[in-house]
Amino acid sequence: MSTRSGPQIPPEVTRLVDRFNNLPRNEKAPSGLVDNYWHFEIRHVPIPPPGDLLFIINPPSKYVHCEKLPIASGETDMEKISMVVALGLLKGFVDSLGGNQFGNTVPSYAPWRWSVKTQDAALGRAVERQLTLLGVRRELLNIGVTSASDAAVAEESWNGVYGGIRAAVGLR
């Protein structure tokens, strides 16, 4: 167990943080065409079995990635929720945001900046605290608030993702 900033951190989490902290980080996404800016939020999927997803989107490109959150639906403990979200963010970026699926080889990279919706500002602050406790690099400890236009892009994209999930399980 590691003792970054006090609490004991399991070795597998320390390795994840180290991998994340060593990712390259640029203002532009690897394509060079859009800003390396990522919005994230928790989205509930009520389809049995219900659960929560960490929804991550690059609003300029509308590229979406989701991570299943290992928390009970309806969980209210902000410390627990924010730690799971922080770990989901790190895992998502270390794993190339799903870009290595289907035989592709996509380099992993860290975001330049990230944000949450205005109504999720408390979650953003809680995730900042968890990232700090985990020892994430200083320049990624500030989670901003998403603009209204980017929040609208995220909502539209989520509707498409959720529609795809519903269709996959045979729901209209």
Q: Where are the domains of the chain?
A: 11-168
Bigger pLDDT: 123 or 104? 123
Whether the per-residue pLDDT at 95 is higher than 50: the answer is yes
Rounding to the nearest 10 degrees, give the CA dihedral for residues 106, 109, 114, 116.
40
Distance CA 39, CA 46 (A): 22
Whether the per-residue pLDDT at 48 is higher than 90: the answer is no
Whether the per-residue pLDDT at 92 is higher than 60: the answer is yes
pLDDT digits (tens, 9 = 90+) for 50-70: 889 999 999 999 999 999 999
Whether the per-residue pLDDT at 19 is higher than 50: the answer is yes
pLDDT digits (tens, 9 = 90+) for 134-159: 999 999 999 999 999 999 999 999 99
Percent over 90 (pLDDT), the chain:
74
State the DSSP code for 50.
P
CB atoms inside a 10 Å sphere around CB 17: 22
Q: What per-residue confidence (pLDDT) applies to 56?
A: 97
Residues in Cβ contact with 65 at an 8 Å cutoff, skipping those fewer than 6 apart: 56, 57, 92, 97, 98
CATH of domain 11-168: 3.30.420.10
Q: What per-residue confidence (pLDDT) applies to 1?
A: 42
Bigger pLDDT: 156 or 9? 156
